[in-house]
Amino acid sequence: MITLTDSAIAAIKFALSKAPEPATGLRIKVQAGGCSGFKYHLGLESESRNGDAVIEAGGVKVFVDSDSQPHVGGMTVDFTMDVNSPGFIFDNPNASKNCACGKSFS
């Protein structure tokens, strides 16, 4: 469903190691909003919820709720330390249009 690059896996592991409360994975949720119609919402999560897809790669888990699953199928998540825009990068084949910020799509 979702592919994580080595950089994304390392970033998730780092975030989990610094979490103020115990967490076992990263939740990716698609919400209405942003400049293009939908936006990605990320957060650390301690366990899966009913209906979640759980993706395991490189020793990390990603949780995706059932409403978000159709929007992220086939997506690749990367992480960059680029000076101008560090953070997660989403290569989503379901997006017909992306905002310049890279965090919003339609």
Q: Please, what is the average pLDDT of the chain?
A: 89
Are 73 and 65 contacting, i.e. CB atoms less than 8 angstroms apart? Answer: no
Which residue segment(s) compose the domain that 35 sits in? 3-91
| Better pLDDT: 61 or 31 | 61
In a domain? residue 104: no
**Residue 26 maps to which CATH number?**
2.60.300.12
For residue 32, is it within any domain? yes
Please count the structural domains in the chain. 1
Which has the minimum average pLDDT: 19-28, 38-47, 95-104? 95-104
Q: What confidence score (pLDDT) does residue 73 get?
A: 93
CA 66-32-11 angle, to 5 degrees, is 70
Q: For position 36, what pLDDT does the model report? A: 65
Residue 98 lies in a domain: no
Q: What pLDDT, on the 0 to 100 scale, is given for residue 17?
A: 96
Q: Say if residue 67 is exposed, middle or buried (CB neighbours under 10 Å; 0-12, 13-18, 19+).
A: exposed
